[in-house]
Amino acid sequence: MYSFKNDYSEGAHPRILNSLMESNFEQVEGYGEDGYTQQAVELLKQRIGRNDIDIHLLSGGTQTNLTAISAFLRPHEAVISANTGHILVHETGAIEATGHKVISIEVTNGKLNDSHIKAALDSHTDEHMVKPKLVYISNPTEIGSIYNKAELEQISRFCKENNLYLFMDGARLGSALCSEESNLDLSDLATLVDAFYIGGTKNGALMGEALVICRDSLKEDFRFYMKQKGALLAKGRLLGIQFLELFRDNLYFDLAKHANKMAALLRAEIGKAGFKFLVYSPSNQLFPIFPDSLITELHKNYSFYVWSKVDADHSAVRLVTSWSTKEDQVLAFIEDMKNALKQRHKWLH
């Protein structure tokens, strides 16, 4: 049984494991004050091209989202999110549990634009309602679409004009930046958003996200917020070593490119077989629409999520490739799909 359920089923890239082993018996400072973490932070600043940013390493995406958003907002302030946003759908109300409402905006492709944000502002008019203050986006989105530079510039401009914070969830940021259709890089993000994070958990690390705070007013006392939310890891070295290894050269981006390459192979062959997709995704998440009978057949050898029902006989599934996805398994999936279609054709005739 081979899994296309997610991009965190495997452990970590061997280079990371080797670095963790080699440094295992060194005695270092705790809570991110160790040399490895400090080196990783400086390296990331160089990669981003900014020295005037703060970088904090946290263990996971939900923890990063809830810690950052609750730190950035005052008690009466709220978050604007697409209706598919991770903080709205898949974080068990973590943001609301910190006391901040998530305002859901209906979108068709997972992406917010300035008109969506304006609608949220227009419908929250006075002190009898929560005050929209932070715009949450993710790149890629929860359904695999990505933001291009023009789209992000438009949102950034609108947020600045309306005194809103712009926060980008980067759990799969490597896949977005390495997409053949992306024209963004890390330095662009530091200019266009107030805070974002670079996801390691879903791109070769055992765990870890690097939160980048670009707006000066959001930096103060952030380690206090981390400690209060249980995000200040005593053995912070575990995160620092991993990000140091991922960004020592191009490993982080090479791993993301591999995931995207495997997804592109799947996308092309599924399209050639005549299947449509629920949404166009140029990243490492695909949402093809299959007959339910084909899904049943493929589930014999592969695990993946059935995402949503499309009609009485068809459903959209989610296929996710990772930094470690084996090409022979992708080819085997394609071959099994084709064989199941041939068998189905015989049954129908």
**Predicted confidence (pLDDT) per residue in 230-285, tens digit:** 999 999 999 999 999 999 999 999 999 999 999 999 999 999 999 999 999 999 99
Same fold, 14-251 and 252-348: no
Model pTM score:
0.96
Domain 14-251 has CATH 3.40.640.10: yes
Asked if the model's pLDDT at residue 346 lies above 80, the reply is: no
What per-residue confidence (pLDDT) applies to 345?
66
Q: Is residue 159 within 8 Å of 192, Cβ to Cβ?
A: no
Per-residue confidence at 214, pLDDT binned at 50, 70, 90?
Answer: very high
Q: Is residue 348 within 8 Å of 291, Cβ to Cβ?
A: no
Q: Which residues pair with 54 in a beta bridge?
A: 213
What per-residue confidence (pLDDT) applies to 142?
95
Burial class of residue 173 in the structure, from the number of CB atoms within 10 Å of its CB (0-12 exposed, 13-18 middle, 19+ buried): buried
Mean confidence (pLDDT) of the chain: 97
Under CATH, which number does the domain 252-348 receive? 3.90.1150.10
Per-residue confidence at 127, pLDDT binned at 50, 70, 90?
Answer: very high
Asked if the model's pLDDT at residue 349 lies above 70, the reply is: no
Of 252, 253, 246, 195, whose CA–CA distance to 219 is shortest? 195
The three-state secondary structure class of 269 is helix
> What are the extents of the domains in the chain?
14-251, 252-348
Location of structure tokens 């923890």: 63
Backbone angles phi, psi at 231, to 5 degrees: -105, -5
pLDDT tens for each residue of 50-95: 999 999 999 999 999 999 999 999 999 999 999 999 999 999 999 9
